[in-house]
Amino acid sequence: MAALGAWGTAVQRGRLWGAARALWGWRRPQRALGQDAGKKKDAKPSFTDEAVQNLLYKMTGLDLQKVFRPVKQELKPPKYKLLTEAQLEEATKKAIKEAKEKLTMPPVLDEREPIDDVLAEDKILDGIETTKYIFTDLTYSIPHRERFIVVREPNGVLRKATWEERDRMIQIFFPKEGRRVIPQAVFKDEHLVTVFQQDRHEDILNMCIAQFEPDSADYIRIHHRTYDDIEKHAKYDLLRSTRHFGGMVWYLVNRKKTDGLLIDMIHRDLLDDATSLITLYHMLHPECQSAKEAEERKLQGVDLIKVFAKTESQKEGYIQLALQAYEEAMATSTGS
Amino acid sequence: MVQLGSRLLKGYRGGHVVIRFALGGCTNRPFFRIVAAHSRRARDGKYLEQLGCLDPLPNARGEKVAGLNLERLRHWLGCGAQLSRPAEKLLGLAGFLPLHPMTVTGAERLRRRRRAQEAAVPPVAGGLQQPGEKP
Parallel, antiparallel or unpaired: strands A132-137 and B29-38: unpaired
Give the pLDDT band of residue A29 (cuts 50, 70, 90). Answer: very low
Angle between helices A271-284 and A245-254 (to 10 degrees): 50
Spell out the residues 6+ positions from residue A293 whose beta carbon is closer than 8 angstroms to its own. A299, A307, A311
What are the CA-CA distances from residue A296 to residues A291, A299, B78 (Å)?
9, 8, 72
| Cα gap A247→A96, rounded to integer Å | 21
Give the pLDDT band of residue A307 (cuts 50, 70, 90). Answer: confident
Task: State yes or no: pLDDT of A90 exceeds 90.
Answer: yes
Chain B: nearest CA to A221, how far in angstroms? 24
Q: Which of residues 20-79 of B touch A (CB under 8 A)?
A: 52, 58, 62-72
* Neighboring chain A residues of B68 at a CB cutoff of 8 Å: 135-138
**Across-strand partners of B24?**
B31
* Neighboring chain A residues of B66 at a CB cutoff of 8 Å: 133-136
Q: Tens digits of per-residue pLDDT, B59-85? A: 999 999 999 999 999 999 999 999 999
Task: State yes or no: pLDDT of A335 exceeds 60.
Answer: yes
pLDDT of residue A59: 85
Mean pLDDT of chain A: 84
Task: State yes or no: pLDDT of A69 exceeds 80.
Answer: no
Quickly count: other Cβ atoms within 10 Å of residue A73's Cβ: 8
Task: State yes or no: pLDDT of A66 exceeds 50.
Answer: yes
- Tell me which of A54-68, A91-105, A219-233 is least confident: A54-68
**Across-strand partners of B17?**
B38
Mutation for testing the A interface, residue in B68, B102, B113 having most A CBs under 10 Å: B68
Mutation for testing the B interface, residue in A117, A126, A129, A136 having most B CBs under 10 Å: A136
Mean pLDDT throughout A47-56? Answer: 87
| Cα gap B108→B118, rounded to integer Å | 15
| Residue from B110, B90, B15 nearest A136 by CA | B90
pLDDT of residue A60: 85
Nearest CB neighbour to A132, from listed B63, B69, B99: B63
| Cα gap A44→B135, rounded to integer Å | 87
Mapped onto helix, strand or coil, the DSSP state of residue B33 is strand
Task: State yes or no: pLDDT of A259 exceeds 80.
Answer: yes
Give the pLDDT band of residue A48 (cuts 50, 70, 90). Answer: confident
- Tell me which of A24-33, A194-203, A245-254, A270-279 is least confident: A24-33
pLDDT of residue A147: 95
Q: Tens digits of per-residue pLDDT, B89-133? A: 999 999 999 999 999 999 999 999 999 999 998 766 655 555 555
Task: State yes or no: pLDDT of A17 exceeds 90.
Answer: no
* Contact yes or no for A131/B64 (Cβ under 8 A): yes
Parallel, antiparallel or unpaired: strands B49-54 and A118-121: unpaired
pTM, two decimal places? 0.77
Q: Does B94 touch chain A (CB under 8 A)?
A: yes
What is the rounded end-to-end Cα distance, in angstroms, of chain B? 87
| Cα gap A164→A171, rounded to integer Å | 11
B95 phi, psi to nearest 5 deg = 100, 0
Q: Does B107 touch chain A (CB under 8 A)?
A: yes
Q: Does A148 touch chain B (CB under 8 A)?
A: yes
